[in-house]
Amino acid sequence: MKVELRHNPSSTVARCVLAGGEPVRVESGAMVAHSAGVSLEAKAEGGILAGLKRSMLSGESFFVSTFTAPQQGGWVDVAPSLPGDMLALQIGPDRPYFISRGGWIANSTGVQVESKWGGFANLFGGEGGFGLRASGQGEVVVGVFGAIDVIDLAPGEPVTIDTGHVVAYDLAIRFTIRRAVSGRSLQSLKSGEGLVFDFVGPGRVLLQTRNPSAFASWTASVSSG
């Protein structure tokens, strides 16, 4: 699978170009268009229990759509629900990634994507303790709200990131969670910040420049006002 991005960075669409007979797994509802002859099958990937875990715990759809190219090859265009950028994340056997809820859009056939407990820290990050673990060999198409920032940390290098802006991270990376103002809940509240991740390299972290939860809260306040 080859991924071609266009209309980026604010309204990105990813075109997954497929060889003859090659499948691509896509989040339900993320397909924008596909070429002639591409077939579609929707099912609970991994069975009913896996589908329930994916939908109830990881924030993804119960069903996964599998598009398969005809003999001459084809393409499938995919896009996230929120406006923003997309990225083709390279997954290797020695470099699995944790993807936060709502970030996964599609993956090539050599990648396994399954629900994973992201650690007790994530439970208090406002995004739920579960996300998706992407492993194997190939590419995962990730969508973000806003633009993408990629931070590559050297060994021992630290960075602090608001929990709502973390999209994905290298599973080899070390992290902890804390209040934005350590040990002082009132000061954290006054600052407008809540909880943050402290990551320590080596490893890669993907960020989104906008916070979906904050946007949802703002939308709700405007609607109610």
According to the model, what pLDDT value does residue 179 have?
Answer: 81
List CB contacts of 91: < 8 A, sequence separation 6 or more.
97, 107, 111, 134, 135, 136, 137, 138, 139, 140
How far apart CA 38 and CA 121 sit, in angstroms, is 41
Query: Which tens digits make up the pLDDT trace of 68-97?
Result: 999 999 999 999 999 999 999 999 999 999
C-beta atoms surrounding 204 within 10 Å: 18
Decide if 3 contacts 16 (C-beta within 8 A). Answer: yes
How far apart CA 100 and CA 93 sit, in angstroms, is 20
How far apart CA 46 and CA 149 sit, in angstroms, is 32
- Per-residue pLDDT band for 66 (boundaries 50, 70, 90) equals very high
Taken in order 221, 190, 102, 51, the sign of the CA dihedral is: negative
Query: Which tens digits make up the pLDDT trace of 124-134?
Result: 334 445 678 89
Nearest to 134 by CA among 193, 206, 198, 209: 206
Which pTM value belongs to this model? 0.81
Determine if residue 100 is left, alpha or beta; phi over 0 gives left, psi from -120 to 50 gives alpha, anything else beta.
beta
- Per-residue pLDDT band for 117 (boundaries 50, 70, 90) equals low
According to the model, what pLDDT value does residue 30 have?
Answer: 94
Range with the poorest average pLDDT among 50-54, 134-138, 140-144, 201-205: 50-54
According to the model, what pLDDT value does residue 138 have?
Answer: 97
According to the model, what pLDDT value does residue 121 have?
Answer: 43
Is pLDDT at 182 greater than 80 in this prediction?
A: no
According to the model, what pLDDT value does residue 190 have?
Answer: 38
According to the model, what pLDDT value does residue 101 have?
Answer: 82
According to the model, what pLDDT value does residue 124 have?
Answer: 39
* Residue linked to tokens 């060889």: 19
